[in-house]
Amino acid sequence: MGGFPNRPNRLAFGPTMINERPVVDPTRDLDAASVNLTAWQTAGTGRCAPKGLLTCTVAASLPTTVNQAFAFDPNGALALIVWVSIGVGHYRFLLAATYPDELGTAIATGLVAGIAQSTTAVPLIGSVELTSDHGGDVYFLSNAGAATDPASFAMLLW
């Protein structure tokens, strides 16, 4: 089944299965209801689970990616995301427009949402504004509404 990181729907896992004959020994025979439930749950999880998680530190208004995990990079082979500082509390990131699926076919990255939060003692909620389907801007504001740099933050991307 090629096409990841596109979100799978139930039909991506094939037709709804039916038992060819009654399940006599459930330790040896797989019931169609179990297969169908697994496909249903996997499709549902794939549609709502984040595509990426990044943790970053910030020094002089420039984030540095410390760790990253992407659903479309199961071996962790991608280079760490490099950030651009736009100003205090405002950073830009850009992923590749496409990534190869498990069959090697280029598939659009297709980001639809993101959220960022500082990981320091005083939590700051950051906003993620996607400027394309593969990149965007992250903003952090203090409780008083002023742009501010967190010492570190985590970001989820869907």
pLDDT in tens, 67-118: 999 999 989 999 999 999 999 999 999 999 999 988 889 999 999 999 999 9
Measured between alpha carbons, how far is 83 from 50 in angstroms, rounded to an integer?
Answer: 20
Give the pLDDT confidence of 129-138 residue by residue, as tens digits: 999 999 999 9
Question: Following DSSP, what letter does each residue of 26-72 receive, concatenated?
Answer: TTTS--HHHHHHHHHHHHHHHHHS-SEEEEEEEETTEEEEEEEEETT
- Claim: this prediction has a pTM higher than 0.75: yes
Give the pLDDT confidence of 14-27 residue by residue, as tens digits: 999 999 999 999 89
